[in-house]
Amino acid sequence: MLVVLTTVPSEEEAESLAKKIIGAKLAACVQVLPPMKSFYFWEGAVQSESEHLLLIKTLPEKYAGLETFIQINHSYKVPEIAALSAENVSAKYLSWIKDYLA
């Protein structure tokens, strides 16, 4: 299983993107975390913005399609898309993800 991270500028965009990802069967679950403050280097300076973090639960074979989908449907020119491999996942949870994404 993979947990893919992306951030968006608003709760509305987070919810919309989450629903689209699930509807496209690119992930079985997307969690939207409350606002946080992000600090990053962009356009020659340190920037800071309020953002929402999405935790996207998917399978490795769905990653390429998910990455493309996020790039197309995201409001940022260069969205964060980072996948973390989950080494230990409960059997029932992984089975549920595989069943939905089959």
According to the model, what pLDDT value does residue 27 have?
98
Residue 57: how many other CB atoms lie within 10 Å: 21
Report the CATH number at residue 11: 3.30.70.120
Query: pTM for the full model?
Result: 0.95
Place 23 in a pLDDT band, splitting at 50, 70 and 90.
very high
Q: Which amino acid is at 20?
A: K
Cβ–Cβ < 8 Å for 14, 31: no
User: What does pLDDT average to over the chain?
Assistant: 98
Give the 3-state secondary structure of the chain. Answer: CEEEEEEECCHHHHHHHHHHHHHCCCCCEEEECCCEEEEEEECCEEEEEEEEEEEEEECHHHHHHHHHHHHHHCCCCCCCCEEEECCCCCHHHHHHHHHHHC
Q: What is the mean pLDDT of residues 60-83?
A: 98
31 falls in which pLDDT band (50, 70, 90)? very high
Give me the domain span that covers residue 25: 2-101
Number of domains in the chain: 1
